[in-house]
A = this chain, B = another copy of it.
Amino acid sequence: MQKKNSATIYDVAHRVGVSLATVSRVVNGNSNVRDSTKRKVLDAIEELGYHPNAVARGLASKKTTTIGVVMPDITDVYYSELARGIDDVANMYHYDVLLTNTDEDPVRETMAVNNLASKQVDGIIFMGNELDHEVVNTISGVNAPVVLAGSVDSEKKLPSVNIDYVEAIKEAMEAVIKNGHDRVAIVTGPVEHAINGMHRLVGYKKALEEAQIEFDDSLLFSTHQDYAAGLQVAEKILATGATAAITYDDEVAVGIMNYLRDHGKKVPEDFEIITSNDTKFTIITRPQVTSIGQPKYDIGAVAMRMLTKLMNNETIELTQVKLPHTLERRGTTLN
């Protein structure tokens, strides 16, 4: 049973017979301390079970060694992978992480950012699909650097780490078009959302254009982000005569696939599917789901690394980072 709380830097100083400053120096690894006194201080720290009070330190130094992470939902495997990348790098640089779930509600996002600011975090990583104008405003007003991870603001004012969503969807489209499909459903989140809506649609249309296929908006579907939604939308997709689908969410993709197979369709022979996030869901199903491959962990890790530089006032050459994506061909596509 170690000592409860108590011991302060003053106790240590007093015990050794030196000043607060000296103790502070050894604690902070300042070299200007004679080895012998350093040892004595260290011993006293050990004996008293002294642990620096980070709050006091934060007040005095104006650095909390804490960053804020704002994310839609910790149970969403896509975002939790990013968060893991963030956390690992954060720890590497000795930062702790204050985590907030927002469910992509702009009101809660704004509150979260303001709250983190009042807690004096040294920086913030923000994740979310739609960057509401007000949210961008709030973020810009915060007195701490902010980096977007897996998110974009349309004005590209904020530093961010992403993949090229437009290009990724375009490539996925090209893959199915090459397989002879000309009626390809595109399943997105709310269309007004940047990544899950707009960006994907742009990539989709680009591919159509290059293949000289007319855009048909009856092939555009917008759903909730879960398995049940996939089950539901599948029927509607089938009704349009589509023979392939590109989806924004892996659970939705699996829902569509399962519905199709339950209704006598063969995947991929009768219907091809490509999804976007390459989460575990795409691996455990039979067939496995072809997906755009995203370096999820790395997106988080790189964003966090960027944030450390920003917090350190280093200048950053490239603030709009695009990490490479792939196409992971699995069982829901031919070839």
Contacts and interface: CB of A to CB of B under 8 A. Distances in A.
Contacts of A14: none
Contact of A56 (B59, B98, B280): B59
A276 interface: no
Contacts of A141: 1-4
Interface size class of A (residues with CB under 8 A): 35 or more
A97 to B, nearest CB: 5
Contacts of A286: 258, 261, 285-286
Contacts of A5: 143
Interface stretch (A46-54, A182-190, A191-199): A46-54
B96 A97 contact: no
A51 B121 CA distance: 14
B1 A118 contact: no
Interface string A117-150: 1111000000000000000011011010000000
Given A2-B141, A3-B141, A98-B96, A254 B284 contact: yes
Given A59-B56, A84-B75, A84-B101, A251 B118 contact: no
Given A2-B138, A53-B59, A53-B120, 4 more contacts: A54-B120, A55-B55, A84-B101, A285-B286
